[in-house]
Each structure stands twice: as structure tokens, then as C-alpha cells.
Amino acid sequence: MAQIKNIGLFTSGGDSPGMNAAIRAVVRTAIYYNIEVTGIRRGYEGMIKGDMFPMDRKSVSNIIQRGGTILKTARSEQFKTPEGRKLAYEQLKKNNVDALVAIGGDGTFTGAKIFGHEYDIPVVGLPGTIDNDLCGTDFTIGYDTAINTVIDAVDKIRDTAESHDRLFIVEVMGRDCGLIALRTGIAAGAEAILIPESKTGLQAVFERLESGRKDKSSKIIMLAESGEAGDAFEIGRQIKERFPNYDTRISVLGHIQRGGRPSCMDRVLACRVGVAAVEALRNGHHNEMIGLIHNEIAYTPFEHATKHNTDINPNFLKIVEILSI
């Protein structure tokens, strides 16, 4: 096993709060073990273009508390082609990079898995996405901050909903994944939750509204984006049609969910998996995501990490039903 001398580090896909804490952890751990770090700007796009620079201890000072990513992030169509990946490999060789740490989500690890099989360069990944949609970790970096941002917003929406006796449909992020909606729905005391993983769909929401308390002045329905039933405006239209007496409003929270100072949980998670990533490379791991399962570091091959986790805990939906009576 060749000794690793220079780790290429990048963030890719959607940004998430805590990515900076993970960058800091990887850089400082590498330096601790006398390994150089090359920062790669804008994910695979920067790799292909050779947009790389040496990182030192000071280059990650004062970033642990900042949202976003100092390495910037991007999506690259070119990396999906063999020609694009060849260019990326050539740039890595030119910059003497002999291992990679990728911070990102599902798509990032799919790219990393293909690259790791095509070229002789060990790659490990850190789960950086607000969606929490990866297998091989209980939580992803950014999820905790995002759900706290959502409940702050929904608490404020509840104030105005209560004052005006309104029903609000609140749409939150989570591509094909309802975990943000599910947890925040429970935490914000929502009347109903509509997520892609639930088999019952919009019909169940109608039933909740029909059977629920009529004297309750405000109602919140949490909706995960891109579900089969349509977006918040389409669902709002159907609810207005079916329940014309409700004063229905829509709120799409959008990109505020990605930003802001990372929570303590996200920072600690980022630090733990960041340290573990460098140690994993030193110990010969490759093509694996480093996560945390039951509070212990876990190593999951990329192909298993990227399998969509569609199993939601049915008790969570039951909790919403019981607690919103």
C-alpha cells in the first residue's frame, strides 16, 4: 500500500451547512499526519479545469462556524463522460494529488465510485447534503441545521396562520426524499405531512382535514418538494377546491434551508467524519463513504451509500396523526 502524500479535497453538488467544518477537519488532520492537501474549487468542474491550490492550516481558520463552502461547489455534466473524467485524472496527476476526499451527496458519490474504478486513485467521501438521503450514516452534514432552519420558519408562519385562522402549506426541500418534511412536521406540530415515501398521498391529507378538529384556528401541512401529488401550488389548488372554507396559503421555503451557521450537531459530525476520512485513506480504505451509525464511525461502499433510503419509520407518521388531534 503506497503512502498517501497529497489529498485532493472538494465539495460537490448542493452545498450544506457544515461543509466548511468538514473541510477544516480534513485539512488539519492531513497536516497532523504530514500529508499535503490540494483544495479543488467547484467540485468536478474545477478538477477538470485544474482549478486547484495548496491548502495549509491557516487557509481553514475561522470557517468552522460559516455556512456554504469556501471551496465553492458546482454540478458538472462533463464529469459524467469518460473524456471529462480523463481530463480530471490528468489534472490530478499534474498537481501530484494521489488520493481524494469528496464532500457531497448521492450524485457526487456516484461520480466518485465510477472514477475510483476507472483510475488508480483512492477516494473516500463525506456525506454533505441537507437531504439526509444516504445510506451508511444516521445523519448527513447539514441536515440538522436545515431542519432547525425549517422549524424556525414554520414557527413564524404558525404565528400568522393562528392570527388569521389560515391553513398553510409549507413546501420544504428534499429531492425525492421526505425526511426534512417528516421531522420538521413533527417538531412544528403539523396537522399533516405529505412526503414521497408515504403510500397514502394526498388522499390521506384530505381525510386528516375532514376528520380533524374544526375549531382549530391554524393548520400546517408540511410538504416535501417533487412528490407525485405535485408542488405546493397544485396541492393548494386542490385543497381550496375541496375545502373552500379554509383560507389557504402557500409558503415555499426554498434556499434559506441550505444556508446559515451550522448547528453544533453538524459541526461535530463534520469534525468526526473529517478526521476519520484522512485516517481511512492512511489505512487503505477507498471507494467508501465515511458516516456515523449509532454514534460510531462507519465505512460504506459508495454503491451502497447511494441507494436511496426509502424506508421511513412508520411510527413518525403515526406520531403526527396522534399529536395533531
Residue of the chain from 49, 66, 75, 282 that contacts ligand ATP (CB under 6 A) = 75
Helices and strands in the chain, H and E counts: 11, 11
Query: Least CB distance from residue 289 to ligand ATP, whole Å?
Result: 11
Q: How many residues bind ligand ATP (CB under 6 A)?
A: 18
Contact 69, 46 (CB under 8 A): no
Identity of residue 312: I
User: Judged by CB under 6 A, does residue 89 bind ligand ATP?
Assistant: no
* Cα–Cα distance list, 151 to 119, 216, 221, 303 (Å): 44, 20, 13, 33
Task: Select the residue whose beta carbon is closest to ligand ATP and give its number.
Answer: 107
Nearest to ligand ATP of 67, 104 (CB atom): 104
Catalytic, 165? Answer: no
Each residue 105-134 as x (binds ligand ATP by CB under 6 A) or -, in order, gives: xxxx-xx--x--------------x-x---
Sorted by sequence, the CB contacts under 8 Å of residue 161 that are 6+ apart come out as 167, 168, 217, 218, 219, 220, 249
- Scanning 101-109, 152-160, 232-240, 288-296 for contacts with ligand ATP by CB under 6 A, the matching segment is 101-109
CA-nearest of 259, 49, 290, 68 to 153 is 259
- In whole angstroms, how far apart are CA 39 and each of 7, 23, 52, 98, 235? 8, 9, 5, 13, 44
Smaller CB separation from ligand ATP, 105 or 291:
105
Q: Which of 15, 98, 106, 131 is catalytic?
A: 131
Is 76 a binding residue for ligand ATP by CB under 6 A? The answer is: yes
For ligand ATP, give the closer residue by CB, 70 or 319: 70
For ligand ATP, which stretch binds (CB under 6 A), given 8-16, 46-54, 119-127, 194-202? 8-16
Please state the closest distance from residue 129 (CB atom) to ligand ATP, in A. 4
Contact region with ligand ATP (CB under 6 A), list: 71-79, 209-217, 224-232, 263-271: 71-79
Nearest to 225 by CA among 174, 185, 151: 174
User: Shortest CA distance to 75 belongs to which of 142, 146, 15?
Assistant: 15
CA atoms within 13 A on the CB side of 266: 33
For residues 39 and 46, which CB has a smaller minimum distance to ligand ATP in the complex?
46
With a CB cutoff of 8 Å and minimum separation 6, the contacts of 249 are 161, 166, 167, 168, 169, 236
Angstrom distance (rounded) from CA 289 to CA 272: 13
CA 6/CA 87 separation, integer angstroms: 19
Residue number with CB closer to ligand ATP (12 or 149): 12
By CB under 6 A, tell whether 104 contacts ligand ATP: yes
The sign one gets for the Cα dihedral 191, 196, 200, 203 is: positive
Pairing state between β 166-172 and 123-127: unpaired
137 to 176: interface string for ligand ATP, x by CB under 6 A: ----------------------------------------
As measured in angstroms, the least distance from the Cβ of 173 to ligand ATP is 9
Listed ranges 27-35, 50-58, 100-108, 228-236: which one lies at the site for ligand ATP (CB under 6 A)? 100-108
Residue 44's closest CA among 23, 70, 72? 72
Residue (117 or 237) nearer to ligand ATP, CB:
117
Nearest CA to 103 out of 269, 233, 283 is that of: 269
Kindly identify the residues of this chain, within the stretch 32-61, that bind ligand ATP according to CB under 6 A: 44
- Asked if residue 67 binds ligand ATP (CB under 6 A), the reply is no
Residue ranges in contact with ligand ATP by CB under 6 A: 12-14, 44, 75-76, 79-80, 104-108, 110-111, 114, 129, 131
Residues annotated as catalytic (active site), given as ranges = 131
